[in-house]
């Protein structure tokens, strides 16, 4: 693949600068896509044809179509939960067990570990489940989202039954890295070296218990809560605040029914596992279960249920558009040869004992800048594994460094699918979640780099 050299960095640079300065992620993504389409206009028959070429590429991408279907199903489920009062009933029921800020944050982290099957399911389900409880106890939404985000991808990497583990194991096997003849055997052998995932989870718990202080966006939002009583980041649209906080208290004769929330959630998780970690099957089963359950109980009429499903899809429009733009920009990066440029620039320092650390840093920065995580592993493993073999470095260790870098990117990229879905589930903007996560993810990345340097020399 031809590389445009340093020019290939321009769309990403534009996106990050505009997103940070304007806090308008969609605008920043459109600008980045436009710049990329302009650079590649000669290749694609002119600027207009180039722009729509990448729009079409994004819409025809099977992964993008799959994500849109997932998001639509979760949108339906969330609105069904809200309009049937299932979420508020669960929150009122949970009051007897979760009574303090710290307890609510620990419960969020534990739920994130329990829902280990897939990071999409984790990011959307945990935020939706816990935000009513954490709101009541005065936990800022950015704090909630940081915890959800810090559990999602790291937990999925560390538990071999997840979609992440299955995919990465298959990649290792395709590159001839096996233990006892299987890629999963090699993946399990490499789990102790997937340092970023362990450290991110440990730092999250240390932050919850106050051993690591509140930093950056989270510190700012705690101060904002103390001043205004709002758990939302400063500048959040008042209409959104009113819509999410307008929850009716049950009457004296009403008994909260947590099962109206827990049963669809349990069916969703069980169906996902039964379908081989296929989240689309699980989320569809959850929607059908909720629909039938509320209809039988007459919580809502058939027409109201249909309207809730439609409104749920509409409520996810922002996420769908952002996902569409993210995939278009990723295709621009492919055609600009960004990955080849990064690899060529960093190859001279990918030597010997330094290889695992450099691989982690390169993968982490690339994943953060581009929003590519699974694609990143597929691109760079065929390069890293031969390098590791040639230099006498354990290819399993080098592979674990790639996976750690992908995990760091999933935790931090403002237009990565993990951050987009976590922000949506927690009811905040992607840019706010990125700023909330970066200080702690940065700590995790720094410690991970040191561990890979030490391990590279020891092994």
Q: Following DSSP, what letter does each residue of 152-215 receive, concatenated?
A: HHHHHHHSTTSHHHHHHHHHHHHTT--BTTBHHHHHHHHGGG-HHHHHHHHHHHHHHTTSSPP-
pLDDT at 412 over 60: yes
Who's near 308: CB < 8 A, 6+ residues apart?
76, 79, 80, 83, 300
What average pLDDT score do residues 100-124 get?
88
What average pLDDT score do residues 297-321 get?
91
pLDDT value, residue 416 = 84
pLDDT band at 432 (very low <50, low <70, confident <90, very high): very high
Higher per-residue confidence, 409 vs 347: 409
Residue 116 lies in a domain: yes
pLDDT at 253 over 60: no
Contact (Cβ atoms closer than 8 angstroms) between residue 330 and residue 413: no
Per 3-state DSSP, the chain is made up of helix, strand and coil in percentages (nearest 5) of 80, 0, 20
Contact (Cβ atoms closer than 8 angstroms) between residue 108 and residue 147: yes
Contact (Cβ atoms closer than 8 angstroms) between residue 352 and residue 398: no
Token reading at 183:
């890629």
Residue 90 lies in a domain: yes
pLDDT at 251 over 50: no
pLDDT at 174 over 90: no
What average pLDDT score do residues 418-439 get?
91
pLDDT value, residue 258 = 84
pLDDT at 254 over 70: no
Residue 452 lies in a domain: no
pLDDT value, residue 238 = 60
State how many domains the chain has. 1
Domain that holds residue 157: 63-235+256-316
Whole-number Cα distances in Å, 442 to 151, 370, 408, 436: 15, 17, 9, 11
pLDDT at 349 over 80: no
pLDDT band at 188 (very low <50, low <70, confident <90, very high): very high
Contact (Cβ atoms closer than 8 angstroms) between residue 83 and residue 292: no
Residue 401 lies in a domain: no
pLDDT band at 36 (very low <50, low <70, confident <90, very high): very high
Who's near 256: CB < 8 A, 6+ residues apart?
88, 89, 90, 92, 93, 250
Residue 433 lies in a domain: no
pLDDT value, residue 216 = 92
Q: Residue 4's Cα: distance from chain center in Å? A: 29
Tokens 């590429």 belong to 57
- How far is it, in rounded angstroms, from Cα 415 to Cα 321? 11
Most confident of 343-347, 356-360, 445-449: 445-449
Contact (Cβ atoms closer than 8 angstroms) between residue 133 and residue 98: yes
Residue 140 lies in a domain: yes
Token reading at 79:
């609105």
pTM of the full structure: 0.83
Terminal-residue alpha carbon distance, the chain: 34
Residue 79 lies in a domain: yes
Residue 1 lies in a domain: no
């Amino acid at each position: 693949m031809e590389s445009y050299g340093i020019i290939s960095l321009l769309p990403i640079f534009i996106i990050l600068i505009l997103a940070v300065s304007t806090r308008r992620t969609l605008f920043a993504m459109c600008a980045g896509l436009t710049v990329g389409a302009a650079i590649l206009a000669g290749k694609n028959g002119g600027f207009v044809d180039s722009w729509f070429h990448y729009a079409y590429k994004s819409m025809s991408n099977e992964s993008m179509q799959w994500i849109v279907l997932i998001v639509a199903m979760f949108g339906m489920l969330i609105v069904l939960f809200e309009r049937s009062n299932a979420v508020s009933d669960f929150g009122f029921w949970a009051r007897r067990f979760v009574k303090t800020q710290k307890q609510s944050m620990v419960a969020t982290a534990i739920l994130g570990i329990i829902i280990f099957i897939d990071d999409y399911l984790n990011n959307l389900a945990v935020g939706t489940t816990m935000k009513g409880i954490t709101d009541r106890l005065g936990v800022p939404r950015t704090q909630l989202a940081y915890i959800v985000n810090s559990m999602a991808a790291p937990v999925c990497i560390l538990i071999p039954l997840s979609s992440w583990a299955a995919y990465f194991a298959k990649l290792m096997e395709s590159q001839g890295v096996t233990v006892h003849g299987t890629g999963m055997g090699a993946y399990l052998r490499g789990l102790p070296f997937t340092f970023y995932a362990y450290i991110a989870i440990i730092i999250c718990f240390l932050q919850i218990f106050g051993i690591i202080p509140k930093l950056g966006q989270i510190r700012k939002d705690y101060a904002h809560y103390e001043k205004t009583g709002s758990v939302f980041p400063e500048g959040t649209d008042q209409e959104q605040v009113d819509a999410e906080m307008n929850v009716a208290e049950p009457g004296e004769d009403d008994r909260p029914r947590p099962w109206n929330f827990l049963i669809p959630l349990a069916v969703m998780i069980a169906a996902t596992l039964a379908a081989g970690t296929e989240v689309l099957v699980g989320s569809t089963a959850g929607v059908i279960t909720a629909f039938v359950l509320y209809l039988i109980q007459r919580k809502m009429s058939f027409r109201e249920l249909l309207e809730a499903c439609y409104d749920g899809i509409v409520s996810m429009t922002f996420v769908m558009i952002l996902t569409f733009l993210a995939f278009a920009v990723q295709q621009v990066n492919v055609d600009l040869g960004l990955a080849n440029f990064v690899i060529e620039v960093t190859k001279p320092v990918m030597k010997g004992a330094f290889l695992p650390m450099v691989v982690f840093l390169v993968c982490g920065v690339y994943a953060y800048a581009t929003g590519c995580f699974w694609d990143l592993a597929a691109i760079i493993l065929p390069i890293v594994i031969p390098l590791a073999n040639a230099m006498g470095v354990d290819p399993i260790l080098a592979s674990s460094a790639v996976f750690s870098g992908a995990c760091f990117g999933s935790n931090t990229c403002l237009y990565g699918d993990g951050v987009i879905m976590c922000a949506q589930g927690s009811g905040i903007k992607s840019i706010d979640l990125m700023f909330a996560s970066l200080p702690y993810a940065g700590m995790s990345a720094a410690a991970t780099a040191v561990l890979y340097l030490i391990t590279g020399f020891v092994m």
